[in-house]
């Protein structure tokens, strides 16, 4: 199968939507206190983000006007692979160690904090991609979707920067960092579908 630039961009958009749905599903199950198969969900996310990094990287080198957008998506995907890897490989052992030796609780907490730091950094990248793609789409005539995407992208960048710099609880119980990041991801994907034919 030949992956033209337009088809590659469509695959990137589809993968972004799948990632947003998967994250929303996981969050909903976590809030509902449903026991979720983390290995399966996070392992699937790791595969998804690895493939997204490859496709976004391919789109980046072939893009005429959206190089920054695809660069931000590719690096966000790579950061998400790291974040998922930390969750899958380190949460369990550090949590068990802290359960047996209370003095290790700060180390376990630091691993979780690092994971969220990487998560927020990835969301900042997606916010940047949404901002640039939204402005580009608005300039080409689709002002409502374009400016909505750009504004949500800016909100995602600010909220995730605050969470990254001040710790994941900096915004209290308000899930603005993650929520705005997921919404920016969906709107970004919709923008890419509109821009794919013209890039």
Q: What is the pLDDT of residues 93-143, one digit of tens each?
A: 878 877 877 877 888 888 888 988 999 999 999 999 999 999 999 999 889
| pLDDT-based confidence at residue 174 (cuts at 50, 70, 90) | low
Q: Which residue has the higher pLDDT, 129 or 26?
A: 129
DSSP 141: T
Enumerate the H helices of the chain as residue ranges: 5-31, 38-62, 67-100, 105-139, 143-166, 176-195
Do residues 149 and 133 lie in contact, with contact meaning Cβ atoms separated by under 8 Å?
Answer: yes
Q: What is the pLDDT of residues 33-43, one digit of tens each?
A: 777 777 888 88
- pTM attached to this predicted model: 0.91
């Amino acid at each position: 199968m030949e992956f033209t630039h337009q088809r590659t961009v469509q695959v990137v958009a589809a993968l972004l939507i799948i990632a947003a749905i998967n994250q929303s599903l996981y969050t909903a199950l976590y809030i509902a206190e449903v026991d979720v198969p983390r290995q399966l969900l996070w392992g699937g996310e790791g595969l998804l983000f690895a493939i997204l990094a490859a496709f976004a990287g391919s789109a980046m080198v072939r893009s005429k006007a959206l190089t920054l957008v695809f660069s931000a998506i590719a690096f966000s995907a790579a950061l998400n692979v790291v974040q998922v890897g930390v969750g899958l490989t380190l949460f369990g052992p550090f949590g068990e160690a802290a359960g047996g030796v209370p003095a290790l609780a700060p180390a376990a907490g630091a691993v979780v904090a690092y994971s969220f730091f990487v998560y927020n950094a990835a969301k900042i990248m997606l916010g940047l991609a949404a901002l640039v793609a939204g402005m580009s789409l608005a300039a080409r005539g689709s002002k409502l979707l374009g400016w909505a995407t750009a504004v949500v992208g800016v909100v995602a960048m600010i909220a995730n920067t605050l969470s990254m710099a001040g710790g994941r609880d900096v915004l209290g119980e308000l899930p603005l960092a993650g929520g705005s990041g997921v919404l920016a991801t969906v709107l970004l994907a919709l923008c890419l579908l509109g821009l794919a034919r013209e890039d």
